[in-house]
Structures are given as C-alpha cells and as structure tokens.
Amino acid sequence: MKYENDPELSLLKRSQTIYPDSPDNALIEGFHNKFPQRDYVIEFDCPEFTSLCPVTGQPDFATIKIAYIPDEKCLESKSLKLFLGSFRNVGMFHEEITNTILEHIVNQIEPKWIRVLGVMNPRGGISIRVSAEYSKPSYKEAPPAWVYQDTTIRGLA
C-alpha cells in the first residue's frame, strides 16, 4: 500500500483509538492529493454531530456538511470523525462550532476552497443553520454552483 508509511497518517495506523476530549486536543490529518492541478469537490456528511449548549449544558444535535476543493492535501476521514467527536462534551454556540471546524481544517490541509454548513436540530422550536466559507487568496475560481443549492436536494431534508 502506498500510504502505509505516510508519516502524516498517524491516527489511521493506530491499533487503538484514542478519543480527544476537546477540539483543541484533536488532530486533523491530511494526505497527499495526487491531483492538485484539477479542481474537484470532496464532500463529507456528518449526521451524528453532538455538542453541549454553553449556557444550559443540554445536548445539541446537528448535521455537519463539509465541501471542499483540495490543494496539496486531502482530509483524512478518521481524523475528521475523531475531531468532530471531540465537541461532544464541549459547550459552544453553533456559530462558534461551525467556524472552529472551518479554521481547524483550513489550518491543517489548506484547501483551495471550503464550506462548512452546520444544520442544528431544533431546540425550542427553532432550527439554526450556520455556513462558514474560506477561499485561498490565490484561488480565483468559483466553486461549482451546486454547492450552494438548497441542501434539501442534497440529502438534508
């Protein structure tokens, strides 16, 4: 296997999974993109996201959707799963959660473009959707129009 000796993929190679207790203690890993010259979109749907309300301590549930155009690195999914799981016992407002996810991913893999969408389940009869986006200053292309279409079309009914 070509990636088995990749020093950047330490979490994927571990025989035992260690669950981080906060996003600051979590590690996001990436692997070499074999097609950096081509713009293509990678999507992650994470329907089991949980965190805590920072005021009441009550659990919050959400779907996190990530769409990005990779540059030199692609996001490794196990590290993303562990990173998102690290929010489970952390109190944060939805806006902070979405932007924290975006910043951690941008800092680690430096994508050409990325959008993180947090679709929070209703609490008190109100559902909240938070979208945060980043584009490298050197990236002048627009992402495909479908990434902005109504997310009910894309499986978030």
- Tokens read off for 149: 């279409």
**Between β-strands 113-123 and 73-75, what pairing exists: parallel, antiparallel or unpaired?**
unpaired
Query: What is the per-residue pLDDT for 81?
Result: 96
The H-or-E segment that residue 132 falls in is strand 126-135
Q: Report the pLDDT value the prediction gives residue 147, as an integer from 0 to 100.
A: 75
Q: What is the pLDDT of residue 17?
A: 78
Residues 6+ apart with CB under 8 A from 16: none
Question: Tokens standing for 52?
Answer: 């805590």
Q: What is the mean pLDDT of each run of 10 residues along the chain (157 residues)?
A: 56 69 94 95 96 95 96 96 96 97 97 96 92 93 76 48
Amino acid at 92: M
Residue 142: per-residue pLDDT: 78
CB 83: neighbour CB atoms within 10 A? 23
User: 15-31 burial string, b = 16+ CB within 10 Å, else e?
Assistant: eeeeeeeebeebebbbb
Residue 130: inside a domain: yes
Which of left, alpha, beta for 124 (phi over 0: left; psi -120 to 50: alpha)? left
Give residue 101's pLDDT.
98
Domain range enclosing 118? 41-141
Helix (H) / strand (E) element for 59: namely strand 59-69
**6 is a domain residue:** no
- Tell me, yes or no, whether 102 lies in a domain: yes
Alpha-carbon distance of 102 to 84, in angstroms, equals 11
CATH number of the domain to which 71 belongs: 3.30.1130.10
- Residues belonging to the active site: 53, 60
Would 112 be classed as within a structural domain?
yes
Domain count, the chain: 1
Q: Is residue 17 in some structural domain?
A: no
